[in-house]
A and B are shown apart, each in its own frame.
Chain A
Amino acid sequence: MVEFNDKWYGWIPTNLGKVKFEFIDEEYLKKQFKTAKIQKVKEQLTISHADISYISDSPWFAKLFFWRKEYFSELDLTVKKKAEDFTGAMKILYKDSIEFFAEFFICSNGEVEFTLKQINNPESIEYVPFLESIKQIFYVVLKSIIHGDSHHHQKIDIAINITHDRFDEKKILDDMLFYLKTIEKNIKHIKNDSIRLKQSVLLDEVEGYLSYIETFVLLFEQKESSKLEKKKKIAQNIKKSLQATINKREKKHQSKEHFKTVLLTIAALFIATNILINSFYDSKEVLSIYVNNFSRNELFVYSFVFWFVVYFGFMYKSAKSFLYYNCYGCYKFLRNIIVALLGIVKIILIFLFLVIGIVLIGYGVFV
């Protein structure tokens, strides 16, 4: 066991301007940490044995491999309400291995101070580097519990980072601005269709993110402006955040509706085609010569295949965009597989052309 008294700081986003114990959603936490024991009583929240394996960035298939075993982490946490502020303790533990224990204090404005107290069983692993990353994990995990991340999934994102020595408002704001700039740059550089849906929703997400930045500025700005005016602005920010969420949901809904509308149109066209074809069947029209060459069942199947291909062709780009938005992990895995396969195909082609070249030259020289 090694004892510490190391401090670091962070900010728990709140567009209300105050972190409220009442807003810690027990049901949300139970969904997030399915196997954990969670208990929220009047002024205390206790979480034990919560699986936080999401802090590992290993791809899903690498977590399954047994040849190089990965150890996953668990969380024990206690938060107590103390007037307007919170105090608490957290333990991040790797089973039968190292454990990190820290205490924290959360001010009502979201400012959080951590103190690393001890590391148990450090000898169980080769060395303990990356203490910075461990500190960031403490912050991200606590932020996701108190704030209930709705703008991004629970990973160690780079949107808001911890600060050392003191709570550094300027650095936190700089990190948030840098993150917004990175988003803008990424969008400008990617020009394919797959990000179409994501792009349309992104502006709303950024709008929600901006409302947090505005509240942050209002909370930590040195300028003494009217307190009542500040509260009014905070109310406007909450409205902005809500508007962004509603817009985002509306766009997702519209995208699903688009799939249904096109499907219904294609179904109607399929029925109309079959009625038309059947009207020619056994009639004296010129077209019946062609139609009578097939059975009714065959015509039904052919028209179905035809309209299915039309539907797929029409919806291909929308489906790709939908997959990118809803199943990014799956999209990324498939894209990486394609890049890897293309590399293998190129290697095979190199050998093939070399062999053909040598054989042809040999044939030309000797024959």
Chain B
Amino acid sequence: MIYILLGISSILIAFYIFNSLRNAQNSFAVQEVKRYFFKRNKADKNWSSNGRVYTNGIALVKDKTTEKKHFIKQSELCDIGILS
């Protein structure tokens, strides 16, 4: 009986971590990390800075699959306040 209870507790803990991960995945900070590491800070039309200071950028890149060059619009959250 004790093993079954411990097993159920373990699965519940796994679900708890899963939920916290799912919430974190939706959080602004995690979305920003994904943009930073995997999308070259690409900003689509729906991107919002959530009231944070940011810079705008533009990059000309070659697409890996189509081998064609195209511009991407970028935004990067930056240091608070005026940059120095």
Contact = CB atoms under 8 A, between A and B. Distances in A.
A361 interface: yes
A309 interface: no
Nearest to B69: A125
A136 to B, nearest CB: 7
A70 B60 contact: yes
A41 interface: no
Contact of B11 (A62, A128, A190, A354): A354
Contacts of A128: 71
Contacts of A360: 3-4, 6-7, 10
A41 to B, nearest CB: 32
A71 B62 contact: yes
B58 A130 contact: yes
Interface of chain B, main secondary structure: mixed
Contact of A361 (B4, B25, B76, B80): B4
B3 A349 contact: no
A126 B69 contact: yes
Contacts of A314: none
Contacts of B24: 343, 346
Interface of B: 1-11, 13-14, 17-18, 20-21, 24-25, 29-30, 32-33, 36-37, 40-41, 51-64, 66, 68-71, 73-76, 78-84
Interface of A: 55-59, 62, 67-71, 73, 94, 97-98, 124-130, 133-134, 136-137, 151-153, 155-159, 179, 182-183, 185-187, 189-190, 195, 198, 201-202, 205-206, 209, 248, 324, 328, 332, 336, 339-340, 343, 346-347, 349-354, 356-365, 367
